[in-house]
Chains A and B, each alone.
Chain A
């Protein structure tokens, strides 16, 4: 019997449950698959419900409103009420629509949104699909969602929907480049596409395994990629590009409700709309989970070894607590941005991706390479850090200045003044 570690409790329970099925290998495989997939399908819709409530409350706070407050304490049961409403609504399909494509679009969006969750490590030994090419699989399956949005927009036979679909394709294809390129830096520094290895590389195992509690805590934090110049810039580029990739504000042009009704969602109602809504949030979780994994140390956080344990890798707080905490923190930033920033114009959106984020991401790759080979003093990057930071800052300034358009003359108001 292995000693019980708090952070490995679920893993150990799973192994214990599977040990009963040793004599039935086929059943064991089936149960193992179910044990790793069912929690994903159960937990993330709950997260989605919590987030919709958080978003409504947060936006209400920003806009000086109260927000939902009728259902349950502080309106916390609002997601359930919304869900029932969505389920009971009539499913209206336009007469001239392309039935099959119209029906399949939410499914095509939903499946990859949930599938990409399976390459994220939620804790040590807790990854639904430990594939060798996790990151690239994530981006590959994530790119399918573009197709789903197009299907929705095209099959509705609605001008607004089609406009939304075309906007979505243009936007998602453009922002995929800075997204992937900023992730490439991390892959380059880790030397692996495996998400578990990327997380392990961000932990200082010597400090974690030492006996000093402070060092144990610090060892889980200090190695995060976000604390390096290339990681910091990469994280910001990744975050901005991911906002565009999942059509969140201020890049929500595909469903800009003040311009093109609701874009590709115009002709969807009832449960299909709910599916769209949910997969949008699930892909937001997935992409925030990936940026957590790539830049914010994945499941590692301030953590100490439990006093009763001899296992040098044991931790007191389960890693998934930190993972979900970081994921929700990023989600909150997204809500904050949604409540604060106005929507971009289409040409500005494209210009921002191609003229600003892309050169910056390419510059970041060079800075990452320099940081890797720069001389270190006792393992501390005394040369790489300041020079890398300076180069990144200067290129940010330069590219920003180059992008500055002609100065517009101040508008003269004839009647308002």
Chain B
């Protein structure tokens, strides 16, 4: 368990860092997907199979592919290698983050007594509970999201349809 957790988290951290740092957009997307897969593995370790499956289905299968599609439609896949971001900002950011960590987060973490959670051997099938929750208490929220997505889809179609040629263009 610990071994699997450490391997997966190391992969997740490294691939997330690479996704931010890599210059080539496609490489960045691919490492981002590796991060998503590692995250799904962590979900499986937490016995949340459904969440892991959805993580892969939505993020790797749909979001990642969408990003790749968008990249393929752009002109320049690789950023200018010679161009560098001014490094001073990063130093200031590091200093600020360290200050926040030392002054706010660490005392808070040390003060809080974490309640001991009971060890869970097995978790009841979570999909049924999830479905029941989606269908009864959160039904309206689900409908609203569905409506929003449908509207977004229709909007995308409207944008994608090429506008009809105006009278002047037809004449010329």
- A interface with B by C-beta (< 8 Å): 98, 101, 131-133, 136-137, 139-141, 143-144, 146-147, 150-151, 154, 166, 169, 173, 176, 193
Contacts and interface: CB of A to CB of B under 8 A. Distances in A.
Interface in B53-85: 53-57, 60-62, 64-65, 68-69, 72
Interface string B117-144: 0000000011100000000000000000
Closest 10 CB pairs of A and B: A143-B61, A140-B57, A140-B53, A140-B56, A136-B53, A137-B53, A133-B50, A132-B125, A133-B49, A133-B53
Nearest to B51: A133
B interface SS class:
helix
A136 B65 contact: no
Contacts of A151: 30
A140 B61 CA distance: 7
A132 B49 CA distance: 8
A173 B65 contact: yes
A146 B66 CA distance: 11
A193 B33 CA distance: 25
B125 A139 contact: no
Contacts of B45: none
27 contacts: A101-B27, A101-B30, A131-B49, A132-B126, A133-B49, A133-B50, A133-B53, A133-B127, A136-B53, A136-B54, A139-B53, A139-B57, A140-B54, A140-B55, A143-B57, A143-B62, A144-B56, A144-B61, A147-B33, A147-B61, A147-B64, A150-B68, A154-B26, A166-B72, A173-B62, A173-B65, A193-B127
Contact of A144 (B26, B52, B60, B127): B60
A131 B53 CA distance: 11
Contacts of B126: 132
Given A98-B27, A169-B69, A173-B65, 7 more contacts: A132-B50, A132-B127, A133-B53, A136-B53, A136-B54, A173-B62, A176-B61
Contacts of B53: 133, 136-137, 139-140
Could you say which of A136, A139, A166 has the most chain B C-beta atoms within 10 Å of its C-beta? A136
A133 B43 CA distance: 14
A207 to B, nearest CB: 28
A173 B34 CA distance: 19
A154 B49 CA distance: 31
A136 B68 contact: no
Nearest to B126: A132
Contacts of A146: 61, 65
B77 to A, nearest CB: 9
Contacts of B125: 132
Interface in B81-131: 125-127
B74 to A, nearest CB: 13
A148 to B, nearest CB: 11
A151 B26 CA distance: 9
Nearest to A145: B61
A137 B49 contact: yes
Nearest to A101: B30
A147 B49 contact: no
Contacts of B37: 144
Contacts of B49: 131-133, 137
Contact of B65 (A101, A131, A133, A169): A169
A147 B60 contact: yes
Contacts of B33: 147
